[in-house]
């Protein structure tokens, strides 16, 4: 009978099937490879940001371009006023900033409107009186009014199509129109910054 049980046990045993090992995660070389790849990617991103995106991170070629552009701007002033202007642009700390705020007007022959926010970077002349420096002074209020008027007239005399075509040059166009206004007030306009531009 014991032979019968043994025979029965043999019949009940199933043939052994090779069992595949389950992976418990990534292998160590794979994890090291991913880590090194991520590190290299981060380094490349930082280099791109520093070189191309962040201000001041450009090459010496960019600096030469900026210097040549500023020389051209200073030469545009011309004559005695140009020499005086060069003298005042020697020191960065003497630069002032005047924010004109939002200016809204309609382009020529259009029901659309343009909203533009402009800032002016300028320097004061030698004979500029300190009390005129405050925004509340009549001197600065007149300057603001005249400056806004020039911008409104420039946009009002330009069609929508012309504005769109000149969009990349608007800062230099406004600067050229505003330089005489600032010069009359014993101020030297250095730069125009368009903070906001909406055409609807």
| CATH hierarchy code of domain 91-199 | 3.30.479.30
Sheet holding 114-124, edge to edge: 96-105, 114-124, 187-199
Is the pTM higher than 0.75? The answer reads no
What token pair was written down for 15? Answer: 């043939």
Phi (first) and psi of residue 189, to 5 degrees:
-75, 125
Supply the DSSP string of 167-186, one letter for each residue: GGGHHHHHHHHHHHHHHHTT
Q: What is the pLDDT of residues 44-98, one digit of tens each?
A: 888 877 777 665 554 444 444 444 444 444 444 444 556 666 665 555 667 888 8
Contact 170, 108 (CB under 8 A): no
């Amino acid at each position: 009978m014991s032979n019968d049980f043994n025979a029965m046990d043999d019949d009940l045993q199933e043939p052994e099937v090779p069992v595949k090992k389950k992976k418990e995660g990534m292998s160590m070389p794979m994890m090291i490879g991913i880590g090194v790849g991520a590190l290299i990617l981060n380094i490349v991103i930082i280099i791109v940001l520093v070189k191309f995106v962040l201000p001041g991170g450009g090459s010496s070629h960019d600096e030469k371009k900026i210097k040549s552009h500023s020389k051209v701007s200073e030469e545009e002033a011309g004559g005695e006023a140009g020499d005086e202007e060069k003298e005042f642009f020697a020191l960065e700390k003497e630069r002032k900033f005047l924010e004109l705020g939002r200016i809204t007007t309609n382009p020529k022959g259009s029901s659309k409107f343009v909203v533009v926010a402009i800032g002016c970077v300028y320097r004061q002349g030698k004979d500029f009186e300190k009390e005129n420096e405050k925004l509340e002074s009549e001197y600065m209020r007149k300057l603001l009014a005249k400056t806004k008027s020039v911008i409104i007239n420039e946009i009002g005399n330009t069609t929508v199509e012309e504005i769109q075509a000149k969009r990349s040059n608007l800062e230099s166009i406004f600067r050229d129109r505003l330089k005489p206004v600032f010069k009359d007030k014993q101020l030297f306009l250095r730069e125009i910054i368009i903070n906001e531009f909406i055409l609807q």
